[in-house]
Amino acid sequence: MPNLPNAHPDRGVPANRYEAAPAWRVVDDYFAEALVGEDDVLSYARASGERTTMPNAEVAANQGALLGLLTQISGARRVLEFGTLAGYSTIWFARAVGPEGSVVTLELEPTNAEVARENFMRAGLADRIELIEGAAAESTQRLIEAGAEPFDLVFIDADKPSNPLYLQAALELTRSGAVIIVDNVVRDGAVANAESADPRVIGVRSVVDAIAACDGLTATALQTVGIKGWDGLIVARRS
């Protein structure tokens, strides 16, 4: 039984989404250690997040493992990722698709792309990952125009105001039965505030509306707590 500091619900509650309550942290550490086993490649990639434009934004180890499992459970061979950062989740996807699979990951910031490329080399996965530098909306437009082979799974985890745009691109670039996952959709509960003026919250609410209005998508959303604070993800399937 792990020691649970501040496990009482009135104590240790984080002040914002960049903080995790101590009890959440202990439980995440417990599961990550017991079930996930982040190896050297992944822990190096996580630490290298400090050198990106958004330190600490990569998914938690147990969330990365979930992304890998969803990839394998759905039998996905081609994955498209919006927002590479240090490439932490990219590595989970690239491992999950196996040697015959591939991941295309889109990153705006050259600094982040450089960090990620180093991580892909270290991971021995560079041959199955294509990192496209530039604005994701433009990169996906080029993929659409080039008639890219349809993707089986899409992870939307970039600038949140563009979520609706990225969903549209994902719908044009996927096959029937594809899985679409959207990260960071709870934002400390702010997502439930229809009056929020935060462009990131508005981006999340707009993509929720777009998914709800799309006949070809079946979706749910889950809240998560853990080392990343209070957040959540949408999982959708296109028919």
Q: Which residues sit at the interface with Mg ion, rule CB under 5 A? A: 157, 183-184
User: What distance in Å separates the CA atoms of residue 215 and residue 180, rounded to the nearest whole number?
Assistant: 14
Neighbours of 2 (CB within 10 A): 12
Residue 154 pairs with which residues in a beta bridge?
80, 180
Minimum CB separation from ligand DHB for residue 187, in Å?
8
Size of the site for ligand DHB (CB under 6 A): 6
Minimum CB separation from ligand DHB for residue 48, in Å?
15
Count of alpha carbons within 13 angstroms of residue 222, beta-carbon side: 7
User: What distance in Å separates the CA atoms of residue 46 and residue 188, rounded to the nearest whole number?
Assistant: 22
Q: Which of 217/233 has CB closer to ligand DHB? A: 233
User: What distance in Å separates the CA atoms of residue 192 and residue 64, rounded to the nearest whole number?
Assistant: 25
Question: For 22-137, where are the E strands, in sequence order?
Answer: 78-82, 102-107, 129-133
Minimum CB separation from Mg ion for residue 148, in Å?
24
The amino acid occupying position 15 is A
The footprint of ligand DHB on residues 124-183 (CB under 6 A) is: 157, 160, 183
Minimum CB separation from ligand DHB for residue 183, in Å?
5
Residue 71 binds ligand DHB (CB under 6 A): no
Minimum CB separation from ligand DHB for residue 200, in Å?
6
User: What distance in Å separates the CA atoms of residue 165 and residue 223, rounded to the nearest whole number?
Assistant: 23
Nearest residue to ligand DHB, scored by beta-carbon proximity: 57
Q: Which of 101/230 has CB closer to ligand DHB? A: 230
Rg for the chain, CA atoms, rounded: 17
Residue 184 binds ligand DHB (CB under 6 A): yes
Q: Which of 67/101 has CB closer to ligand DHB? A: 67
For ligand DHB, the binding residues (CB under 6 A) are 57, 157, 160, 183-184, 200
